[in-house]
Amino acid sequence: MRHLRTASAALIGGGTGTVFALLAAIFIAVAFINPGFFEWPSLMAFLKQAAPLVILAAGQYFVIVSGNFDLSVGALVGAQVVIAAKLIDGEESRTLPVLGVMLLFGLGVGLVNGLITTALKVQSFITTLGMMLVLYGAIRLWTGGAPTGSLSEAFRGPGRRGIEGVPLIGEIPWAVLIMLGAGAAAIWLMRTRFGRILVATGDNDLAAELSGARTGTVRTVAFVFSGLSATVAGLLIGGYAGVSAQVGEGMEFTVITAVVLGGVVLGGGRGSVVAAMAGALTLEALFTLFNQMFLPASIRPSVQGAIIIAAVAYAAWRRTRRPVAATATVNADPS
Amino acid sequence: MQTTRLALASAAAAGLLLTVGCTTDEIQEPETTDEATDAAEGDWFVQADYEEQLAQRDIEPEGDPATPWLQAIEPEWIDTAEFAREGGDATVCFSNASVSNPWRVTGWITMQQQVKVLQDAGEIGEFRHSDAADDDEQQISDIQAFIDSGECDALIISPSTTATLTPAVEAACASGIPVVVFDRGVNTDCAVTFIHPIGGYAFGADAAEFLVDNLEPGSKVLALRILPGVDVLEHRWAAAQEIFGDSELEILGDEFTGGDAAEIKNIVTQYLQRGDVDGIWMDAGDGAVAAIEAFEDAGKPYPVMTGEDELSFMRKWKETGMTALAPVYSNFQWRTPVLAATMILNGEQVPAEWVLPQEPITEAELDDYLERNADMPSLHYAKFGGEDLPGFPDAWRDR
Amino acid sequence: MSPRRLDTTALIYLALAGVVAVGGAAVAMDGGNLFSTANLVDMFTRTSLTGFLAIGMTLVILCRSLDLSVGYTAALSSLVAATTMDGDPGRIVLGVAAALLVSGLIGAAGGAVVAFLGVNPFIATLGVGLIIKGYLDTRYKGPAGDVPALFQQFGYTRVAFLPISTIVMLALAAAGIWFLRSTRTGHHMYAVGGDIDIARMSGVRTKRVLMAAHVLCGMAAGTAGLLLAARFGTGSAESYTNLYELDAIAAVVLGGTLLLGGRGGIAGTVAGVLILAVLDTVFNVMQINPFAKDVLRGAIIIAAVAIYARRQLGRTARRPRFDAATTGAGTGRP
């Protein structure tokens, strides 16, 4: 019995179980209020809305598990959408080249974040906070304050359209497929040597370094993945809803919340990427639940705050009860 | 050990003070605020203001309709001879709340173009501005800095929040230079003139009345709002609630979107999953297109909708042929303050409260406004009123 | 330890002097004078608000914690003060007390979640902030309350070019420096931030110390709220939208306090606040485009911290204890 519990705990790890329980609870609540939610079209619509956050969560997971933060993703998502609109300017033929530019830009921002953090030894909180300010200002400087231009239909496809006429399901949004693809890639990555080194680096970088790992390199790569995830999220959000001045605002805090809700420990070294993505899904489900409940919009932040604290506190409490309590310091930080 | 640090810190601070002490040429009187604001904030919905704004919509403004930014509704002209100044080339200072949304960006370009004209005419010499990035506290500092510099011949203020800027504006008035307040007001009438379109109540009411007139009784309306707690936006919603309250429309909910297109589309999509939505009321046009797309993607008929005179919405409206209205919070008001400042410095009369016309764009005028703004980017505002300025259209098009 | 401390603090004041010199030169080339009374007043006025927040933030960061709720706390405090005073000079004391009490309690709540429930401070205080936001959004539709003219003096009166609020802020900073230097709790804060397990084993009541830091941080944010109320003449819920917490954290880190806790101090923080204020004033006098301001601010913050990191890097060779935990390849803060 005890073996079984330890095994299952090891499988889902730390606070990971909490997020799935919470997700299930929220879905049950939604089902009670609105049974129609679980019909294919509305379920697909939900997943389509959740896709950008889930993808961002996967990217943020790499950074967090290696012991860093990426506060610049919200600004990067916004920048990508604005760049796309300005460069495409309604011309279908420019879609692909502009996607290439966005990809390079996203990877470049990630690389710069990573290099400043690892080579210049600037704490990632400051690096990415600075990057957030720089991106926010630079993009507005470039467009004169408000986004200009417009997106092409082809650009909007992945975020807005899907494969139609699938039996039973109806339409499968491209966004959902992209989310599944990104999720699978992230899971695969974490099973490679890179993934193991990443976690080891976040857990104890000195030990990792002594055993021959290039901690600086994997951390930089983690930031590059985060930049990539913001690029894909930008493509999906821009496609889904078009360009507006406020795209991406505040997403950095939402996504970090989602990752932590998934039981990933800030400071690095613990948590799984599946749980991080489940955290994002849970947060989106929570927003849906609020909506289904007709909860007054102004009170929602309060409920959200209380639930996040409760969930993370519960996960921390479960961690302290487990025998590996040595790591359960007050700050729940491994180092 | 920490003593050394402390000593060092104080030495550095003292050094800094000394260095700068040498350059202090005059020490100004500590300024005081005359009296506390007399605003009764307890109830932010003011019935009298609401009724006044609704009535003002039907009053014919004085002045030439071709230059609506110089028109005024029931003006009470006041004498400004005390501020008259010889020689032109005045230094005009402008404390801006922010350029953090497309409406303000558009207006700011218009204002700069108007300034250029006045500079070429020799009326304005230097035009200084500061931007507070929506931070009230920052704007108070900005205003103080302008007053303390002693170099402004006139001060234009676009307050970021109504009540909170009141003491700073009072201090500006007390310094003796003419003060022009526009857009959002303050709880004092010490400024020479306060320029604004009719207001938020009228905006919200225009939109709500349109929905009431164009929807069958019992129809379901969803209200999309940007943020809570911003008084100018709260007024729009308060007016709408007054009108919806007397109607037979059913209000499904009012949601905060932050003006973010993705959030708007999420919310509308969720409402559509649960049932029909017949009408959309918005407190500002940001992201209106995303709301319309949610109907398209869900395969539902277009709603009766009110947005704003933002071009992306108006173009979508034209394209879909839906039943809609573009309420207007007159963007051309950004021209008026600099013109008013030069009038005051010339000793000409200005209205004490300069109420500019504010008329929604109806379907009948849609084509006309789209044509006039054909070259403009999508997040531009149709009633920006800068077509006759020399920088048109490049200044607005190539931002 | 002392020569190194001296190094860091000296470096920061050197950086401040550099910023002042470069800023002054830039303004002079632009035909202005950064050291005119008007500009000095402007500069010092800008230090007050961030100063209050950053002083409190220094304490929690020293303990290796964080407080992302200070912006919300300040907004709530401004409302509590303004509505309690309600225009009556006789109720000023009551209003100040109420605001400080409420903000102290919020700090205590955040601290308790961090210390006793073991929730990461980033999430704990973000959550507390969201809870306050919900309350403010539901309860207030705009500015509320009325601050009597007498209390508005706190925001507007000045002695020569030093605003009263800045003097109060500097006094609070001095008190904070004394607190960290001379009290046991102050010393323990460094211990808790350095290594909480070692601190606990050597008999420090770590939870109590964390609580103290959070309560003081909350009250410092409450003081910032009082300043907002005095400046606005009313209370404003909207002020939470300005992300003051990020400004405060930036000032603390610019001041040389490690986000990972255990090292730094309030003297440095004051310099950090001054650097940001000088930059703001220079940008304003030179009429830099607001978006360019953001770019420059972001770049300068990163550059400054990179320079400090360079210095600390040289030091780690001599101080192996900090190698892994402190400077190890830019470990993020917990």
A72 touches chain C (CB under 8 A): no
Quick one: chain B helix, strand, coil %, rounded to 5?
A: 45, 15, 40
Cβ within 8 Å of C, A 287-316: 296, 298-306, 308-309, 312-313, 316
Cβ-Cβ contacts under 8 Å, A298 against chain B: 228, 256
| C282 to chain B, closest Cα gap in Å | 12
Q: How far apart are CA B271 and CA C55, in angstroms?
A: 46
Mean per-residue pLDDT, B95-113: 94
Mind listing the pLDDT tens digit for each residue in C185-209? 999 999 999 989 999 999 999 999 9
Mean pLDDT of chain C: 89
Evaluate if residue C304 carries a pLDDT over 70: yes
Contacts of C137 in chain B (CB under 8 A): 228-229, 256
Radius of gyration for chain B, computed over Cα atoms and rounded to the nearest angstrom: 24
Rounded to a whole number of angstroms, the distance from the CA of C117 to the nearest CA of chain A is 5
Partner residue facing C37 (CB), from B28, B39, B229: B28
Range in A250-259, B16-25, B172-181, C286-295 the model is least confident about: B16-25
Residue of C nearest to B138 (CA): C46
The percent of residues above 70 in pLDDT, for chain A, comes to: 91
Report the residue from C33, C137, C239 with minimal CB separation from B228: C137
Interface touch A117/C131, C-beta < 8 Å? no
Q: What is the pLDDT of residue B43?
A: 55
Question: Contact, B210 vs B306, CB < 8 A?
Answer: yes
Q: Which chain B residue shows the shortest CA-CA distance from C78?
A: B164
Q: Which pLDDT value is given to residue C305? A: 87
- Among chain A residues, the shortest Cα distance to C292 is held by A137
Question: Greater confidence, A266 or A105?
Answer: A105
Looking at residue B348, what DSSP letter applies?
-
Query: CA B378, CA A85: separation in Å to the nearest integer?
Result: 11
Domain ranges of chain C: 2-323
B227 interfaces chain A, CB cutoff of 8 Å: no
CB contact under 8 Å between A331 and C120, yes or no, is: yes
- In which element (H, E) is residue C163 found? strand C162-163
pLDDT, position B286: 85
Query: Closest chain A residue to C115 measured between Cα atoms?
Result: A330
pLDDT at residue C173 is higher than 70: yes
Could you write out the three-class secondary structure of chain A? CHHHHHHHHHHHCCCHHHHHHHHHHHHHHHHHHCHHHHCHHHHHHHHHHHHHHHHHHHHHHHHHHCCCCCCCHHHHHHHHHHHHHHHHCCCHHHHHHHHHHHHHHHHHHHHHHHHHHHCCCCCHHHHHHHHHHHHHHHHHHHHCCCCCCCCCHHHHHHHHCEEEEECCCEEEEHHHHHHHHHHHHHHHHHHCHHHHHHHHHHHCHHHHHHCCCCHHHHHHHHHHHHHHHHHHHHHHHHHHHCCCCCCCCCHHHHHHHHHHHCCCCCCCCCCCHHHHHHHHHHHHHHHHHHHHCCCCHHHHHHHHHHHHHHHHHHHHHHHHHCCCHHHCCCCCCCC
Q: Are residues C233 and B37, on separate chains, in Cβ contact within 8 Å?
A: yes
pLDDT, residue A322, reads: 60
Q: Is ipTM beyond 0.90?
A: no
The secondary element (H helix, E strand) that includes residue B201 is helix B200-214
Of the candidates A68, A260, A302, which has its C-beta nearest C134's C-beta?
A302
- The pLDDT value given to residue A165: 87
CA-based nearest residue in chain C for residue A208: C324
Chain B: residue nearest C154 by CA? B32
Alpha-carbon distance of C265 to B2, in angstroms, equals: 10
**Cβ-defined contact of B270 to A288 (cutoff 8 Å):** yes
Say if residues C251 and C173 touch (Cβ distance below 8 Å): no
Residue of C116, C84, C119 lying closest to C100 (CA atoms):
C84
* pLDDT of A12 higher than 50: no
Closest CA of chain C from A330, distance in Å: 5
HEC profile of C274-299:
HHHHHHHHHHHHCCCCHHHHHHHHHH
Minimum Cα–Cα distance from C159: chain B residue: B30
pLDDT at C176 over 60: yes
Kindly provide the residue ranges of all beta strands, DSSP E only, lying in B120-173, ordered along the sequence: 124-131, 154-158
Distance CA C283, CA A137 (A): 14
* pLDDT confidence of residue B33: 37
Q: What is the dihedral of CA C260, C261, C263, C269, to 10 degrees?
A: 90
pTM of the predicted protein model: 0.89
- Establish, for the pair of chains B and C, how many residue pairs have beta carbons separated by less than 8 Å: 205
Show the CA angle centred on residue B317, arms to residues B314 and B322, nearest 5°: 150
**Strand, helix or coil for residue B393:** coil
On the question of pLDDT at C30 being above 70, the answer is yes
pLDDT at B60 over 70: yes
Contact A335 C325 (CB under 8 A): yes
For chain C, say whether A179 makes contact (Cβ under 8 Å): no
Q: Which residues 99-128 on chain B approach chain A with CB closer than 8 angstroms?
A: 99, 101-102, 104-106, 108-109
Contact (CB<8Å) B293/A45: no
Interface test with B, best of C5, C12, C19, C36 (most B CBs within 10 A): C36
Q: In angstroms, what CA-CA distances link A224 with A82, A115, A257?
A: 20, 10, 20
With CA atoms as reference, report the closest residue to C26 among C272, C247, C255, C284.
Answer: C284
The whole-number pLDDT of residue C313 equals 54
What's residue A95's pLDDT?
96
How much is the pLDDT for B26? 32
Residues 7-46 of A with CB under 8 A from C: none
Closest chain B residue to the Cα of A293, Cα to Cα:
B253
Residue B230, pLDDT score: 80
The CATH class given to the B200-325 domain equals alpha beta
Relative to beta strand B154-158, strand B193-197 is unpaired
- When pLDDT is cut at 50, 70 and 90, the band that residue C317 belongs to is very low
> For residue range C210-269, what is the model confidence (pLDDT) as tens digits?
999 999 999 999 999 999 999 999 999 888 888 899 999 999 999 989 888 888 999 999
- CA B167 vs. chain centroid, Å, equals 20
pLDDT digits (tens, 9 = 90+) for C203-214: 999 999 999 999
Would you state the structure tokens that stand for residue A281, as one six-digit string? 């899904």
> Could you give the CA distance from residue C188 to residue C186 in angstroms, rounded to a whole number?
5
Domain boundaries, chain A: 14-327
On the question of a cis peptide bond just before residue B327, with omega within 30 degrees of 0, the verdict is: no
Q: How many CB pairs under 8 A join A and C?
A: 221
Q: State whether residue A69 sits within 8 Å of chain C by CB.
A: yes
> Tokens 């907004």 sit at which residue?
C75
pLDDT at B346 over 60: yes
Alpha helices per DSSP H over chain C: 2-29, 37-62, 70-85, 92-115, 121-139, 149-156, 164-182, 184-194, 196-201, 206-232, 244-254, 266-285, 290-316, 321-322
Q: Which CATH architecture has domain B63-198+330-359?
A: 3-Layer(aba) Sandwich (3.40)
**Residues C106-159: pLDDT tens digits?**
999 999 999 999 999 999 999 999 999 999 999 888 888 999 999 999 999 988
Answer whether B5 sits within 8 Å of C5, measured CB to CB: yes
Does residue C183 have a pLDDT over 60? yes
Amino acid in the structure at residue C297 = R
Distance from CA of C126 to the nearest CA of B (A): 19
Residues 6+ apart with CB under 8 A from C322: C312, C315, C316
A99 touches chain C (CB under 8 A): no
Q: Which amino acid is at C46?
A: R
CATH class as words, domain A14-327 = mainly alpha
**Alpha-carbon distance C272 to C275, whole Å?**
5
**Which residues fall within 8 angstroms of residue C24, CB to CB, at 6 or more apart?**
C34, C35
Chain C hits for A64, CB-CB cut-off 8 Å, are 332
Identify which has the larger pLDDT, B296 or B37.
B296
CA–CA dist B191, B184 (Å, integer)? 13
